Structure 1
Amino acid sequence: MHRNGQAAIKQGDRLLKMRGKLDRGPVEFKSHIVQQEGEVMAIATRDVVSVPPTQSIISAVATMTECGFRRLPVTDAGTKKLRGIITSGDIINFMGGGDKYRLVRVRHNGNFPAAVNESVRTIMTAKPETLSCDAHIVDALQIIIGKKIGGLPIVDHEGRLTGILTERDMLRILAAEHSPLLVEDVMSSSLKVTAPDSPISTVTKDMTRFKFRRLPVVSDDVLFGIITATDIMRYLGNREVFSRLITGDVAEVMNILVRTLMAGSLITTTTEKPINEAAREMLQKNIGALPVIENSRLVGLVTEFDLVKAFSEE
């Protein structure tokens, strides 16, 4: 690994303890969002793509990649009853981040092609948090913010999947309300960063340990880019991963460097930007976070979750 990469990793091991300027504590939902109450089905996606529990992991991830999803419900093929959900976090965990990696390392002795052809039920999140089809917006916000969950399947009274509601759906509604807050008021400053020459195995471990969906990529104190769980999932979903296999061992997959997987141009924001503008840019660009730059230095990160929480408190 390059010396600069090692330096940035050391910097990444330093978890900053600052929070957003306005840490207003728990949200009093019912006093703030009474005007938003109504059926979640009015804003949810109704035509939901799902896969059966018997679908292979690689096939499910390919579907997520092709459709641009960060999560995919798992339902019985006949009844459409919800059995679980597979998320980008589950994929990161499986690819070396956490306990689901045991499927690769222990059950298949490191043989990656064999592991990814296991059924999706082996790594899905079973019994996920859900909403009933007659739930109100306030019910969704309590779960999304209280439990930091980015997407909620919606089920009818028999447990059948009828829709899905995401942070982005909530942001689209809440951002219509004007807020006086600025990005610096709500951004996260407790940042964990990685280096361009870090292996993906290091990133998956950090993402799983700290429950992050993305990590800023920093080299010599300069923001190089951002690596997301979706970038890593795409590496598997578009099957590029198989072009790197010689023996089939998972190490061949996970030694790839961060710099090779970062996608798209880097879009940033500033501390003084109103959060309405930041929300509008995220929605227009279809991105989940904006690095915050001040005097050419990374000072924070503002995410969809940060904005949904801030708007709901206003």
Structure 2
Amino acid sequence: MHKNNQTMKQGDRLLKMPGKLDRGPIEFKSRIAGSEGEVMGIATRGVISVPQTMTIIGAVETMTAYGFRRLPITDAGTHRLRGIMTARDIIDFLGGGDRFNLVRVKHGGNLLSAINESVREVMTQRVTTMPHTATIAGAAEIIVTKKIGGLPIVDEEEALAGIVTERDVMKALATEDTDVTVEEVMSTGLRVTGPDTPIGSVTREMITHGFRRLPLVSDDVLFGIISASDIMKYLGSGEIFTRLSTGDVAEVMGLPVRTLTGAELYTTTPNTNINDAALKMLQKGVGALPVIEEGKLIGLITEFDLVKAFYEE
């Protein structure tokens, strides 16, 4: 109990941490016009998608195998987009939000039974899309204003033609030199949790506050960072089943979140140029970098923060 209270105090303190610089409101500049259809030049084509009838576990295994954060759901015949399943939808299903009712209510808490429901039960049905004629600037504007990590691209028949993500847009916009530093655009006032926090509590925290990742802090020391994708992989890799003996979801979601951390932790510093931060994210294949100053966590810079920063420039 004492440890949980200590973790909460750490979170409260970091939540109140003010940002050092304020870049003001977003103003999208008309000078970044772009050319029609250029978004297809940075998008992924030949996108893997699955039908609405696929099981939840089948879709999660597909996402895990290919390293996807999102998976389009389409009609098998027409390839028309019907929805999308994201890592966020999965942590919602595992205990974070309303989708958990499928496990808790319909299947009495039995995860092994619930994961064989069709993906239509948990997918996001109202999907923001882009036409294949769109510009990169148009993609950046939607990502920043609607805070969407990936946009399916559709053709004239509403069939899936590709997908463009924050990472794609960041890579395209980061080609221009800038003197902006990480400190100017990083997210501050962070909510954190402790490495011994139950996985189920972390999923609820993420869904409640709209986070994709949470830094793990113990005694003012950064232990790691947990993302929605990490929790999704817990299910998709099959690891969750090695820890499941009764089938009850509480059995595996009550484990400490440090159980899911193990990959090398990459960080940055406040005075790092955002071009260098973007390059590091691309090279390491990560979506965020904790910002460390004098051994302490002072912020977090994400792909979203960088897309916003480069677009504003």
Equivalent residue of 2:7, what SS?
Answer: helix
Equivalent residue of 1:126, what SS?
Answer: coil
Shift of residue 263, structure 1, vs aligned partner: 3.5
2:28–2:141 contact (8 Å) kept in structure 1: no
User: Which deviations, in whole Å up to 9, do the C-alpha atoms of 1:217-251 show, x marking residues without a partner?
Assistant: 00001101101111101100011111222221110
Aligned-partner residue type, residue 28 of structure 1: F
Question: Residues 80-91 of structure 1: matches in 2 within 5 Å?
Answer: 80-91=79-90
1:29–1:142 contact (8 Å) kept in structure 2: no
User: Which deviations, in whole Å up to 9, do the C-alpha atoms of 1:2-59 show, x marking residues without a partner?
Assistant: x44541233224523634613320232423x225765211110002011110101111
Equivalent pairs, count: 312
State the match for 2:30 in structure 1: 30
Question: Residues 274-289 of structure 1: matches in 2 within 5 Å?
Answer: 274-289=273-288
State the match for 1:200 in structure 2: 199
Q: Distance in 1 between matches of 2:215 and 2:157?
A: 42
Aligned-partner residue type, residue 22 of structure 1: D
State the match for 2:67 in structure 1: 68
Aligned-partner residue type, residue 299 of structure 1: I
Instruction: Determine whether 1:102 maps to 2:107.
Output: no
Q: Distance in 2 between matches of 1:70 and 1:264?
A: 17
Q: Distance in 1 between matches of 2:54 and 2:88?
A: 18
Using a 3 Å threshold, how does the CA distance of structure 1 residues 11 and 292 change in structure 2: closer, same or farther? same
Q: Which runs of 4+ in 1 moved over 6 A?
A: none
Q: Distance in 1 between matches of 2:176 and 2:26?
A: 20
Question: Residues 40-79 of structure 1: matches in 2 within 5 Å?
Answer: 40-79=39-78
Q: Distance in 2 between matches of 1:47 and 1:18?
A: 44
Instruction: Determine whether 1:176 maps to 2:167.
Output: no
State the match for 1:191 in structure 2: 190
Q: Distance in 2 between matches of 1:145 and 1:256?
A: 35
Equivalent residue of 2:57, what SS?
Answer: helix
Q: Distance in 1 between matches of 2:308 and 2:35?
A: 14
Using a 3 Å threshold, how does the CA distance of structure 1 residues 83 and 124 change in structure 2: closer, same or farther? same
Q: After superposing the two structures, state which structure 1 stretch, 217-226 or 256-265, moved more.
A: 256-265
Aligned-pair Cα RMSD in Å: 1.4
Using a 3 Å threshold, how does the CA distance of structure 1 residues 58 and 307 change in structure 2: closer, same or farther? same
Q: Distance in 1 between matches of 2:4 and 2:61?
A: 31
Instruction: Determine whether 1:137 maps to 2:126.
Output: no
Q: After superposing the two structures, state which structure 1 stretch, 255-264 or 114-123, moved more.
A: 255-264
State the match for 1:116 in structure 2: 115
Q: Distance in 1 between matches of 2:52 and 2:71?
A: 11
2:206–2:212 contact (8 Å) kept in structure 1: yes
User: Which deviations, in whole Å up to 9, do the C-alpha atoms of 1:72-111 show, x marking residues without a partner?
Assistant: 0000111111000000010111111111111111111111
Q: Distance in 2 between matches of 1:218 and 1:239?
A: 27
Using a 3 Å threshold, how does the CA distance of structure 1 residues 41 and 89 change in structure 2: closer, same or farther? same
User: Which deviations, in whole Å up to 9, do the C-alpha atoms of 1:198-221 show, x marking residues without a partner?
Assistant: 000110011101111110000001
Equivalent residue of 2:158, what SS?
Answer: coil
